[in-house]
Amino acid sequence: MKDVKYLLLVLLTVVSGFFGGVVSNQLLGEPAVAQEAESRKVIEAQEFRMVDKDGKTRIFLGEIDGNPSILIFDKDGKHRIGLGEIDGDPSILIFDKEGNPRAGLADSDGNPFITIWDKEGGQRIGLMANDAINGLLICDKEGKQRICLSELNGQVGISIRDKEGKQRIGLTELYGNPRISIIDKEGKVFWQVPNK
């Protein structure tokens, strides 16, 4: 009799354990192990930093001023490459060892441009392309445009400017007519070929 009671108790324990497991799965969802395996496929965070063995940030992935950004740092902690979006426009920047921008590639409303800066942060070279005008600008260390090569609606021109930024020499091809112009300090053409 004692053995029958013991056997019933074991059987009742096994059956209640089985039903308890079934009911808990229905009420609580999948087991934690399955949820954990699924969550390993996606990592969600507002910021990610990859650090080196000394704890210095080498890669930053997050938001800067509300814009998604990736920064790559050198071993001294200076940012050297930046990839991001500013007001919906993508951009890439390359920085020197001091962390100053030296070259950039961006697209503004479908108009790509490249900029190269000197050590002091002044723009020295600009290259742009869009539906209306394509051009190359070369600037002096004061930021004044000195040489401009442009194409506007199929017409091309080269403009050489003095240190005040005033055009002094122009070489153009307008509607099939080439022209060379030399301009004085007051902006008047004093020599031109052809002379029309």
CA-based Rg of the chain, rounded to a whole angstrom? Answer: 34
What secondary structure does DSSP assign to 25-49, as a single string?
A: HHHH-S-HHHHHHHHTT----S-EE
**pLDDT value for 6:** 42
CA angle 100, 103, 107 (to 5 degrees): 120
Q: Span 45-108: which CATH code?
A: 3.90.930.1
- Per the CB < 8 A criterion, the answer to whether 95 and 79 are in contact is yes
pLDDT digits (tens, 9 = 90+) for 135-171: 999 999 988 999 999 988 788 999 999 998 899 999 9
pLDDT digits (tens, 9 = 90+) for 47-64: 999 999 999 999 999 998
pLDDT digits (tens, 9 = 90+) for 64-85: 888 899 999 999 989 899 999 8
User: Phi and psi at residue 24, in whole multiples of 5°?
Assistant: -65, -35
Cα-to-chain-centroid distance, residue 178: 40
Q: Which residues contact 134 (CB under 8 A, 6 or more apart)?
A: 128, 150, 151, 152
